[in-house]
Amino acid sequence: MSCRLFVIPARSAPVAAIFRRGPTHWCQVIAWDTQRDVFSAGAWLKGRIYAERCDLSPDGKLLLYFCHGGRLRPGYTDSWTAVSRLPWLHALALWPWGTTYGGGGRFVGDRELVLRIAMAVETHPEHPAAGLHVSILKRGDRLEVHRSTGEPDTDWSGLDHGGRLVFCRAGKLFRRSRAGGDIELADFDASRPDPVPAPEWARVPLA
């Protein structure tokens, strides 16, 4: 079975996050330079990333993600919301969640975000939200999740920064040309889990 892909573009920069799911119990994050169509493979996670509840900062540098790690980790629980540098998952800020209800959030600025929760939640003591302005939902408010535009026979579809249709099918990423033809940009299906530590630049605190 082919892997599944989901894409979240940055709002103000030609950058997107690609979430690759598969084989079973594994996810990978990939950075996509949508201007040059250059791809940078990032972190692997043995667990699940809830891509629809994740977000990318407007400048495309920070990733807000929500994941289930598959097992309890002391102090972290089995699920958490965190901020990292794309395409890595090293947590610069982390909120233990303990449930798959809610989780994630949205960036409202390059270093400003809203968590998808309506009550105060503390960061992990080793992953404070230094350098970020963080707020929570007001009661009754909701944050929309990211969705596909629903192009038939695709895992995900949407528009790139040039307003052209891009879509994912069977582990591959395509762009539809102005003439109507489909151009394969990348094939991620053959990749296999190869987790490595985040590089030093991805571990630098925000403040």
Upper half-sphere CA count for residue 44 (Cβ side, 13 Å):
12
Residue that has been written with the tokens 């408010």 in this structure? 141
Residues in CB range of 91: below 8 A, 6 or more apart: 80, 82, 83, 84, 124, 127
| pLDDT score of 76 | 77
Q: What pLDDT is stored for residue 35 in this prediction?
A: 95
All structural domains of the chain with their residue ranges: 4-147
SS3 state of residue 177: coil
65, 87 contact by CB (below 8 A) = no
The token pair that represents 124 in the structure block: 């992990």
Q: Which residue has the tokens 């965190």?
A: 82
Q: How many residues does the chain have?
A: 207
Strand, helix or coil for residue 77? strand
Token duo for residue 158: 């949407």
Distance of CA 60 to the CA centre of its chain: 11
Element (H, E) at 42: strand 38-46
pTM comes to 0.95
Q: CA-to-CA distance for 102 and 79, rounded, in angstroms? A: 11
pLDDT at 27: 97
Per-residue pLDDT, 77: 85
**Token pair in block for residue 17:** 């996050």
> So what's the pLDDT on residue 204?
97
pLDDT tens track of the chain, all 207 residues? Answer: 899 999 999 999 999 999 999 988 899 999 999 999 999 999 999 999 999 999 999 999 999 999 998 666 677 788 999 999 999 999 999 999 888 888 999 999 999 999 998 888 899 999 999 999 999 998 778 889 999 999 999 999 999 999 999 999 999 999 999 888 999 999 999 999 999 999 999 999 998
Distance separating alpha carbons of residues 177 and 22, to the nearest angstrom: 28
Please provide the DSSP assignment of 93-123 as one string. Answer: EEEE--SSSS--EEEEETTEEEES-SS--PP
